Structures are given as structure tokens and as C-alpha cells.
A and B are shown apart, each in its own frame.
Chain A
Amino acid sequence: MKRFLNPKGAIGFALVALMFATAILAPLLIPAEWATRMDIRARLSGPSAHHWLGADQLGRDLLYRVMLGAQTSLKIAGAAVLLSVLLGLPLGVISGFYRGRVDNVLMRLVDTLLSFPVLLLALTISAMLGPSLPNTIIAIGVAFAPFLARIVRGEALRVTQMPYVEAARSAGANDWRLIVRHVLPNIMPPIIVQATISLAFAILAEAGLSFLGLGTQPPDSSWGLMIQASRDYLDVAPWTALVPGGAVALTVLGLNMFGDILRDVFDPRSN
């Protein structure tokens, strides 16, 4: 617990708490039409007393939009990364632990998926399933899974060859126990780091899908959608990109710091 009290842990924890509080509370406290109400005179206006963070090309308040968009973005990104871990972790661990033919078959599959650009893969899946929130999550989650599987496999390969795994094997542990008790805890640190980084990319991937009409559907707002919409106005109203971009950056920063601390908390060596 001491770990959370150092500056890095405190800032990371505060940022993550702020983002999740916003995502949960904003839709309850802010009426939905505030984010869609168009103030024509304030189109592309900068931060002011009336619109604290400025307004977009339709005169919609950016602060309300970014707060209401938090839930969509975090929900999709969080669920997608979770899905990619659920798919990639077993795949990678089995590959790295059993090696040989199993590894060959699984990794060729993973390599095939890796050879497609992530967005193209997500796009294909999304187009096949149809545009909806769960389908967006599935599309991004599946598209991200091969990356995680690759990292997990490498780590599992390394850890499986450690003498403590061999020692546990000679102490009678079966494969399941070896994987769960000995391999998994030792490969968690890089997985935590990769998962937090993936969250940022998932937010952006959601943006890409939304832009192509396969992700979040207007008038709902999401950070990705906002970044995409700001594209044409970067020179006249850069804040339209900076506000949602800043929200993404702060979330990722917070998650990264939080992830580091989380990793240390699980590591008995750092206590």
C-alpha cells in the first residue's frame, strides 16, 4: 500500500480515478442534450467563460462532449484490451510452454494476423459483424490479440526454461499448476505494461472505426470521434483536437504510471 503513496503512484492513481469517475458520473449528472446542443455563434470558438474548453465546428461544447465521450471511449478500449488479453494470454502461454508443434501452428496463425494492419483487420471484422458497440469491442479486441500473444509467448518461453519451473516439475507439479502458479505470475509485468499501452491504441482504433462509420455512431460522442472531426479545423481551431487528445493522453499517462505501480505491488522483490 505504501507504493501508492509515492508521487508517481499518487498521480497515476488520481488520473485513473478522475477518468473513471468522469466516465461513470458524467452521463448521470450531465443531460445528454448539453453535448449535442448547437451554439451556432460559438462555432469553433476558443475557451471562454461560456464554453470553458471551446466549441466544435457545430458549436457544441467541447467540455461536455469530452466528459460524455469518456464512457464510450473507456468502455470500448477497456473491454477491447480485456478481450485481447483473454485471447492472447492463453494462446501465448500455451505456445511458449509447450513449444514444438503446438507453438509452430499457433504462432503461424498469429503471424498471419500480424501481417495485416491492425485497423484493416478491425475494419474487416467490424464490417462483417455490423456497426454496434459490442461488435466494435470484438473487432478491436481480436485485432490486438496477436500482439499480446507474441509478447506473452516470448516471456512464457523464457520463464518455462527457468530452473524454478523445472524444480516445480520435479516436485510433482502438473502442467496446469506449473502454468498457473509458476509461469503466469512471472510473466505478468510485461503484460501489464503492454495492456496499458494497448489501451491508448484501442482508443485511437475506436476513433478510426468511428470515422469510417463502423464504430460509435453520431450523435453519441467518443474521444476518437472528436479527434477525427477536428481534422479539418486544426489550423483555425486546434483546441478541437487538443481537448479530446489531451483526455486520451492523460488517461494513458495515468494508466502507465498506475500500471508501473501495479507491477511493483505484485512484485515481492520491490517491497
Chain B
Amino acid sequence: MLRTESGPSPETLVSVENLRVEFDTDGGTVVGVDGVSFSIKQGETVCVVGESGSGKSVTSLSVMRLVEFGGGRIVDGRMKLARPGGEALDLAHADPELMRSIRGVEMGMIFQEPMTALNPVFTIERQLTDGLRVHKGLRQREARARALALLKSVRIPEPERRLAQYPHELSGGMRQRIVIAMAMACEPRLLIADEPTTALDVTIQAEILALIDRLKRENRMAVLFITHDMAVVAQMADRVVVMYRGKIVEEGPVAQIFENPRHDYTKMLLAAVPKLGEMRGTSAPEPMRTLDAKPRPSPSMAPAASMSAKPEVLLDVKNLTTRFPVKGGVLRRTVANVHAVEDVSFSINVGETLSLVGESGCGKSTCGRSILRLVEPQDGEVWLNGWEVRKLAPLELRRARREMQMIFQDPFASLNPYRRLRDQVAEPLVNFGLASRSEIEDRVAQLFDRVELPRSFLRRYPHELSGGQRQRVAIARAIAPNPKLVVADEAVSALDVSVQAQVLNLLMELQADLGLSFLFISHDMAVVERISHQVGVMYLGRIVELGPRSAVFEDPRHPYTKSLMAAVPIADPRHRRIHENASTKPLSSPIFPIGRQAERSTYDEVTPGHFVLRRN
């Protein structure tokens, strides 16, 4: 076989060798990545996977040489790009002017956040044609025709109309299609996608992944795909690069990485990912797998309600309805209502977990907050332990909140940056008068022990902790007043997968030990399958399917539940199921004119305890 002496082999498009990137900060030099080497061939998808801070984004930004704009410096290594002419260019040392002509032409990039990657003040046409006119010198009419062709290639419905629209008029999924169309405008040979679906709902994620995969195959394009999600890796990758703390720990073909991982970190990463469907045939929740050094006794979880002798109902929600006014006009009058939660009923037994799953905007968070009356519902009843929460006077409500606590999604925002952790965990004890001044110190220390945080953290501030540690503080605060119900609103969504597993296990242990009931609000089907006794699937403010976890997951009846299940990527490269669904149906809107009488939710009980919303 003939090989050229220098440079990458003919089909290799990019080869990164020994890359080292440093950042200068006030606290000194920080190494972003070190000794990173990998290559991408034409028509190949290389997934770089790792948790936050592993250097995967720094790597992709370095290839684009965008890392300099974020304060980084490429101090060592080479990044050889095969130019269209055949010669090799070292991107690490190319001058900025040359890089400008390469970015967007030979390499395109898709960013994580489709909401902010588009400029809100320009039309779609302007954003799409800008690059074409600059790089390809096309005239307005030619550029417009090309833009239209691009929109068609990313399968946007009604492409002509989209050209004149502004980003805010489009849904998140459509915006990400526009971003992809922009990246594809000059037919790059390398597409860099940095967490392109992380901000999207699972059904839209499936469509975007399929789109990227099709474009890659049609154009023989190389794709550098950055993600934290092993399931996405399994669906997309030809080869996988696993990064940990700025270094590559393992690299190989996707099947090898998933079936025969060598490095301990890769094994841990794979173990921590819950797989949808793996709970088939069980009735009680099971702790997440982790590769902890110390074997921990698995908490004995209560089996689902149908199995236990006499379930005791803790929370009973009846016909809960929450609407938000949409203000408009000069006088800011209410012109319409968002029906965020519409006639929702369910109940949670003592010591059990009910999960509400659904995509963004389905009303699951509002439902949780309405129960705690952090937002005021318009209608319905919420019975907690024999009290009607909605009828409580302000002072009674404050006392009742002792029984129901909340854990929030973002552990960075749910702790006050100006207060010591000790004081934050003590907050409910002080407010509810649950402990004297001298007892508080001890109670808080015990709570820290309970959530497995060292007592040395008592006097620290939130910014000194990692995301997982902060979420433990938030959990300690939630369980401090010995509540009966804890509402966990996307409590693990912001955490890395290994940390997520640990925090979920902590929650399950607390449930077993303290007899807590959880209302677990999540978009992650695989996590929900693992930890729930009961599951409610929400869509447009209503529960469309409700029942024991095994019934909903093993025998989904409502078409929405089915499509949700089908869209979840599976962390197994042998079960690839990404295929483009051409029918991008527009999501119906929960906004209705004032005075509209919404019809009641009526359910069919398909098996005992398994309810499916009747469709009209």
C-alpha cells in the first residue's frame, strides 16, 4: 500500500497532534487540554464525549481557532487540515486572515443553543445569505436561491415563508435547522457540532440527529460531534474519543468503546447511563449503577402501589388548572391565557415516587409549583395529608410548606451566593422554628452527614462547590424540616451523568429511610423509568397517560407516549434507530382566548391503575 511520506493519509481530513491549550486567568495559567491527538476521515463522525470541564469544547473551538476569542492560547501541537487542493495546512499556526477564509467555508460549526446562535434582529434570509455573499461572492438573487435550497435540504416546512421571518418566530427545532443550514451554506468538508441537541426536546433531538447523519452521508462530510450524552454517541458515532480532565483517556470504534471499554473512566461513564427499557419486568425502582469503590447496601425500595398491602395516599391532586395571562396592547390588558396546567389529577402514596415526564412547555414544572402554591392555580383541589392546600390562608400556607419542599433544577441558581451553606440549610429550621439556636448547629451538621457532604463545607459558600455537591446542599435544605413530600423539578438535569447517578441514589436512599414521597419532574425517560413507582406523561398541560411505571413504559397506549419513547436515543450502537421523520408537525399551542372553556380530561382505564386520556 502506498502512503505519502509526510502529512495525513489521503482520506484523513483533519489530524490533531499533541494539542495543548492554556487559558490565562487571574489565578494563573489553566490548562484546557493537553496532549490531545485524534484524526477525522472524510465521511466519518467522530464523537468527543466527556463531562463538563473535560476539554471537549475547547478541543472543537481550537480546531476552528475560535478558542483565542475566549481567552485561550494554543501553546503546543499541530492541527493538520487537508485543503481542497490536497496540500496540508497547520491550523495551529495559520494566520488569522487565512483562518477567516477557512471558517464557514471548509469548516462549519453548529452551536448548542439555537436560541442565541441566531441574531434576533436579522431575517433568516439575511443570516443565511451573509456567508454566501462574503465567501462565495454570490449576488443577492443567487444567494437567495441557494438559501432556499439549503432550507429545503434541512427539510424546513414552507421554506419560502421562512426566509422573511425572524428567529423568534420559529420553534427551537426549526432554529437549529437554520443553524445547520448556515453551517452547510458553503458546503464545508468538516462540520463541527458542539452539543447541538442538548438544549432540544427529545423528539426534536431525534430529528436533528437524523438530519446531521443524512447530510453527512449525502455530502461525504466529516463530522466532529461534541456531546456529554453516551446515548447520542451510540446513535451517531463511527469513532469515539473519550476525554477526561483535558486529556484523551480512550479512543476507538464505537462498538469497541461500548462493548469492550478499557479505561475505568469509560466504564464508569457507561455504567452510569440508564438505558430505556432495562427495567422491563420489575416493579420497584432500582438504584443507579455506579462504579463506586465502596459497595453500598442497596436501599430496599417499596414496591409499586398495586403490590403493597394498603397504600396510604399522601398527595391527592384533583382537576388542577393553572393559567397565565398573556398581556398585550398599550394598556397591558390580558388578551389571552396560557393554559399551562389543564385539569390535571393524580395522587401520590406515602413513600412513593410519581414522575411527571414531558417536553419543555408541557406544564410539568408549573404543575409542581402549583401544588406548592409557588404559583397560584385557578382551579382544582390539592389535598396534602388531609389539608386542602389551596384553601390555606397565607400564614397557614407558610406552615404547610414545611410538609412539602422543593429541589430546583439549577444548583448554581438555587443557592444564594452570598450566604454560607450552613445558613442556607438552616433556613427552614429557623423559619419554621424547628430548632433552638444551639440545636441548629447540630442538626445542620447531621444533615450534611446525611447527604454525604464533609462537615468542613459548613462554613463555605456555594461557589466553592461542584454542581453535584451543591445539589446535595439543596437536598439537605429540602429535607431539613422533615417534609412528607419533596418536589424535585429537573433536579438532576444539570448534572454530569456520573454525578447524576449518585444524586439519584441519594434521593432513593432518603426515600427508603425517611419514607419521603417524591414528585419527580423530568424530561429524561430513562431516569424516570429507573426511579418511579408511578408515571404521568404530560402534553400541552394535560396528563395524557398515567399509571404504574411498568404499565406506562412496557405498554404505552397514548400516541404521544409512544412517540416520546421512540425518540429516546438508546446507549447501544447496535440499536441505531435514528431516521428522519419528514412530518415535522407543528406543536399545538397552549394559548387560548380569554373565556375559553376547556373540555374536561376524561380517561379510559385500560388496565387497573393505568389511565389514558380519551381523544376527541
Contact = CB atoms under 8 A, between A and B. Distances in A.
Interface of A: 162-174, 177, 181-182, 185-186, 266-269
B398 A167 contact: no
Contact of A169 (B374, B415, B420, B481): B374
B414 interface: yes
Contact of A171 (B405, B409, B420): B405
Contacts of A167: 406, 408, 414-415, 474, 477
A163 B416 CA distance: 9
A163 B408 contact: yes
B432 interface: yes
A171 B374 contact: no
B417 A186 contact: yes
A172 B482 CA distance: 13
A165 B427 CA distance: 12
21 contacts: A162-B413, A163-B413, A164-B413, A164-B415, A165-B416, A167-B406, A167-B474, A169-B374, A170-B374, A172-B427, A172-B431, A172-B432, A172-B481, A185-B416, A185-B418, A185-B419, A186-B416, A186-B417, A186-B418, A266-B418, A269-B417
Nearest to B400: A172
Contacts of A166: 374, 406, 408, 414
Contacts of A268: 417-418, 420, 461, 463
Interface in B475-491: 477, 480-481
Nearest to A166: B374
B428 interface: yes
Interface string B395-435: 00011011011101110011111111000000110011000
Contacts of B82: none
List 8 A-B pairs, minimum CB-CB distance, nearest first: A172-B431, A268-B461, A185-B418, A171-B428, A163-B414, A164-B416, A269-B463, A163-B408
B183 interface: no
A162 B412 CA distance: 10
Given A171-B481, A172-B398, 10 more contacts: A163-B413, A170-B372, A170-B405, A171-B401, A171-B427, A171-B431, A172-B399, A172-B428, A172-B432, A186-B418
Among B374, B408, B427, B461, max chain A CB count under 10 A is at B427
Among B398, B415, B418, max chain A CB count under 10 A is at B418
Among A177, A181, A186, max chain B CB count under 10 A is at A181
A177 B431 CA distance: 9
Contacts of B463: 268-269
B255 to A, nearest CB: 42
Q: Could you tell me the dominant secondary structure of chain B's interface residues?
A: loop
A174 B431 CA distance: 8
A7 to B, nearest CB: 14
Interface string B223-261: 000000000000000000000000000000000000000
Interface of B: 372, 374, 398-399, 401-402, 404-406, 408-410, 413-420, 427-428, 431-432, 461, 463, 474, 477, 480-481
Nearest to B398: A172
Contacts of B417: 164, 186, 267-269
Contact of A172 (B374, B401, B415, B461): B401
A161 B262 CA distance: 46
Contacts of B406: 166-167, 170
Contact of A181 (B398, B415, B419): B419
A4 to B, nearest CB: 17
Contacts of A169: 374
B477 A171 contact: yes
Nearest to B414: A163
Contacts of B416: 164-165, 168, 181-182, 185-186
A170 B401 contact: yes
Nearest to B425: A171
B323 to A, nearest CB: 17
A102 to B, nearest CB: 15
Nearest to A171: B428
B474 A269 contact: no
B287 to A, nearest CB: 26
A169 B398 CA distance: 8
A133 to B, nearest CB: 37
B376 to A, nearest CB: 13
Nearest to B417: A269
Contacts of A173: 427, 431
A268 to B, nearest CB: 4
B289 to A, nearest CB: 30
Given A177-B431, A268-B461, A172 B418 contact: no
Contacts of A177: 431
Contacts of B427: 168, 171-173
A180 B233 CA distance: 47
A186 B419 CA distance: 10
B461 A269 contact: yes
Contacts of B409: 163
Contacts of B408: 163, 166-167
A163 B419 CA distance: 14
B248 to A, nearest CB: 32
Nearest to A186: B418
Contacts of B420: 268
Nearest to B407: A167
A173 B405 CA distance: 13
A270 to B, nearest CB: 9
Contacts of A170: 372, 374, 401, 404-406
Contacts of B480: 171
A177 B433 CA distance: 14
Contacts of B402: 172
Given A167-B408, A170-B401, A267 B481 contact: no
Contacts of A162: 413
Nearest to B26: A270
Contacts of A168: 416, 427
A117 B69 CA distance: 42
Nearest to B420: A268
Contacts of B374: 166, 169-170
A140 to B, nearest CB: 31
B517 to A, nearest CB: 16
B236 to A, nearest CB: 33
A169 B414 CA distance: 11
Nearest to B460: A268
A171 B402 CA distance: 7
A166 B427 CA distance: 13
